[in-house]
Structure 1
Amino acid sequence: MWNVPNVLTFCRFLLIPVYLLVFQAGHMKIAFCILVAAGLTDVLDGYIARKRQLVTQLGSMLDPLADKSMMIAVILSLVFSQMISWWAAAAIFLRDIGMIVGSAFFHFRGKITVPANFMGKLTTVLYYIAILLIVFQMPYAFIYLWFVIIISFLTSVIYIAQFKLLNKRDLDA
């Protein structure tokens, strides 16, 4: 249960209140560095888990929960500090909640769910870049954020198509 990847995932949960405290104190650039550190632990724990065959049921459940929890904290902090609009946050949350609820619904019905793929990972990287542009108040940051939101919805469409292909026999019956 407490292997290195799961400990790294747990550390990501611990970084959430640290991020919020640092952000609330007005140190947004340091808060962004904490977000990047959380992202790096995500990459590292996945790599170690796969490379050393340490993938566990607990890790498979906690890893995406840690990712989504951190992203929720980041988006809410940006909204409450008026760095992004409620509309952008609502679009991000709508997509994420839809993916989480849909995935859980079909998982518990015995359907094959689609693991993270290149497009999902790319979308995450693009969100990190959007947050970087917003925190550092770069030109066109909000246009880029909406571009990433659109890409994330397109990624969801790809996941749905893959889900349908993986579960074609069951869906046709």
Structure 2
Amino acid sequence: MNLPNLLTLLRLGLVPLYFLAFFSESPWSMQYALGILVLSGLTDLLDGYLARKYNWITPLGIVLDPLADKLMMLSVIISFILDGRISWLAAGLLIFRDAAMILTSAFFHFRQKQIVPATWWGKTTTVLYYMTVVAILFKWRMADFLLWSTIGLSFVTSFVYLHKFRAMNR
């Protein structure tokens, strides 16, 4: 067990802590929830950096890292649904898109096809996703606009990835 894998396990442990913070009765509950999300994001960046820099990439990390990311994202979406902050339709579209991307990548990975590396489209979508999460957490007026913009951009990004994938694997 190396340090990047331990950091990934820490991220997995943050998932239930996020729920506890989000649904707590504390007047600071959203700040705690945001703090947990920030900690999760920072440990994700750190474990990826360490794994690449020191060649500490392991089969366990390859599986657990995206699992930790998606579980946290799913937890955020579920908490927003349960609290009435987003609609089932919006949640369903976000979950469908992420599930489709994960399953498609896994399918082609196991068929030894080239996987498209991250692009600025994907990075932009991720930044917009996190801005949207903060806006929804704190119930900012622009939250709904950001949510639907994020959903739209995420589907555009998916089509860009599919196009690039086809071009790389001809």
**TM-score normalised by structure 1 residue count:** 0.91
Aligned residue number for residue 14 of structure 1: 13
* 1-structure distance, mates of 2:123, 2:46: 14
Aligned residue number for residue 25 of structure 1: 24
Identity %: 50
Q: Higher mean Cα deviation, 24-33 or 132-141?
A: 24-33
1:104-157 deviation digits (Å, cap 9, x = unpaired): 222222222223333323322211110101111111111111101111111111
**2:70 counterpart letter in structure 1:** K
1:68-118 deviation digits (Å, cap 9, x = unpaired): 010000100011000111111011011011111111222222222223333
Superposition map of 1:65-76 within 5 A: 65-76=67-78
Superposition map of 1:122-141 within 5 A: 122-141=124-143
**2:138 counterpart letter in structure 1:** F
SS at match of 2:115: coil
* 1-structure distance, mates of 2:124, 2:46: 16
Superposition map of 1:60-139 within 5 A: 60-139=62-141
Aligned residue number for residue 171 of structure 1: none
**2:18 counterpart letter in structure 1:** Y
* 1-structure distance, mates of 2:60, 2:11: 15
2:162 is aligned, of 160, 163, 166, to 160
* 1-structure distance, mates of 2:40, 2:63: 17
**1:51 Cα shift?**
1.4
Q: Cα RMSD over matched residues?
A: 1.3
- Aligned CA distance change for structure 1 residues 65 and 112 (closer, same or farther; 3 Å): same
Q: How many residues align?
A: 167
1:146 is aligned, of 128, 139, 148, to 148
* 2-structure distance, mates of 1:116, 1:3: 25
Query: Which ranges in structure 2 are unaligned for 5 or more consecutive residues?
Result: none
Aligned residue number for residue 44 of structure 2: 42
Query: Which ranges in structure 1 are unaligned for 5 or more consecutive residues?
Result: 169-173
- Aligned CA distance change for structure 1 residues 116 and 59 (closer, same or farther; 3 Å): farther
